[in-house]
Structure 1
Amino acid sequence: MQLTFLGTSSGIPTRSRNVSSIALRLPQRAEVWLFDCGEGTQHQILRSDIRISQITRIFVTHMHGDHIYGLMGLLASCGLAGNPSRIDIYGPPKLDDYLRACGRYSQTHFSYPVKVHTVTPGILYEDDEFVVSCEALTHRVPAFGYRVAEKDRAGRFNVDRATALGIPSGPLYGKLKRGEWVTLPDGRQINGADLCGPTEIGRKFVYCTDTIYCDNAVTLAQDADVLVHEATFSHHDAEMAYQRLHSTSTMAAQVALSAQVQQLVMTHFSPRYAPGNAVDLGDLLAEARAIFPNTVMAHDFMVHDIPRRLREAIASR
């Protein structure tokens, strides 16, 4: 799992930061899942290593323009960039109406299936590898945070040891790799778990924006490997954050601390903190690290790998 930050500004783009979008790359299945799609996102994709033709799912947090104005253009381009078999879009109420209106007035017709799913808190999607869920956040319009949880999988299978035990290759190996018990032709019973390394813990990525500090964000982020959380304002501007229902750097850090995440990545920064101003982004980072030290600040085109953790490593913490 790998994150590519395509836009890290709030509200409006700047010379160095576009508006909101993050790509989650899933190399094991040659897929990209996109989170938010502000204006200009497809141009950002063209400047990155992301392939538009690999986008299969798009998750929209809310209906404000800096999170959706690039969506219709991207969808139109997807049909010209490799004819995807299908794109599933998840988002708040009215997202489907918005896309249908855009298509009607621009006379845009997709050459591939597009399915819009209106989200409600809980599980949105599940397959053999992943579970995606969401929770309602606290903003001026209906907004949702998303959690992508990779399922645990058995550790590396020791083929040499299986061979030494005289286990014939074939269907039995599949069961043993899954940690199941098997009975050999000679009557011996073998526990697959004994032939596998430590369980690989599924990775967890959580994306929360736009929102003020809220309990649902903590619930969603619980034990995440990476929490990407908005930090629109400095703690010095907390009153403005409360008025506009956005987070400060310290609120983002408090969510990370309460949820016991591994790492916090802050994004969605107000342009008011440009270099040379009385308060700049370095101050926001210092504010957050005073509460949650393992914090970094996202920038456009930053690539962040989410590493695997082993069961033994978890137990030793």
Structure 2
Amino acid sequence: MTVYEAELVVDRKELAADGVLALTLRHPLGEQLPAWEPGAHIDVVLGPELERQYSLCGDPADRTRWRIAVLREPDGRGGSAHVHEQLGQGDKVRVRGPRNHFRLEPAPRYRFIAGGIGITPILPMLAAAEASGAQWTLLYGGRTRRSMAFTEELGRYGDRVMIAPQDESGLLDLASVLGEVPDGTLVYCCGPGPLLDAVEERCPAGALHVERFQPKEQPGGEDGEFEVELDRSGLTLTVAPGVSVLDTVRAAGVEVLYSCTEGTCGTCETDVLDGTPDHRDSVLTREEQESGETMMICVSRCRGKRLVLDL
């Protein structure tokens, strides 16, 4: 599958909230950008070994611009600091994508829950839900009102949006949103890990869709040696204990797209032709993991002694 990659221009850079910058990107020659749907993200290449994923939070109907928002993380790994301190209006930045593992499925009713910068993939979902005529509500929390991005945009939706800053109202009242979830209602949640974990505990099976910015804690699995056959490359490689499939494949000279190496972005998703993956990612749904059709080779391994991959 060919992935769109291009250098885009920072057309606009503005403060969306305390510590949050919104960047609007366009093609330098005015060319149309690939179509995308709510929940999609792009890879932003900020430098050698410095690549981050950001959700698209603009209007999918506008093929001339992409908008992302970046939270400044003082204890981060350098990506947000680079965006806040070094990227300016008129600068060029390389991007890839879009990709989407957080699609908005059709439903008559939605309950959206966002924490902090987790509002970014939710924002275009609200417009899509509104356009479809679905019933929906949003519970949006953050540390303070000033730290919560896009609250002015959300104002147009009236009382369907509940803004709940922690310093004013405490932790999000999830019971009020998830106490009774009617059949046919889908719940979409994005935000910090503790929020997602709390929502997962309360949400009916099959109703919940989440996107994680940090890897979910995984139960321990077997880290033993196994073989991986690369069908298109004609190679059979041994994956050693403690070494990822991704690193093994790259060491053999096989090029593969990757980014986070934590199992959260979905960039290295690879088709599985034979064998059973030991899934350790935070991207695929339970149903997708159980199907065994794809795996994230940066973190997932093998339940057995052999995998055949479409590489």
Same fold, judged at TM 0.5 (above):
no
Using the size of structure 1 for normalisation, the TM-score is: 0.32
Instruction: Give the structure with higher Rg (CA).
Output: 1
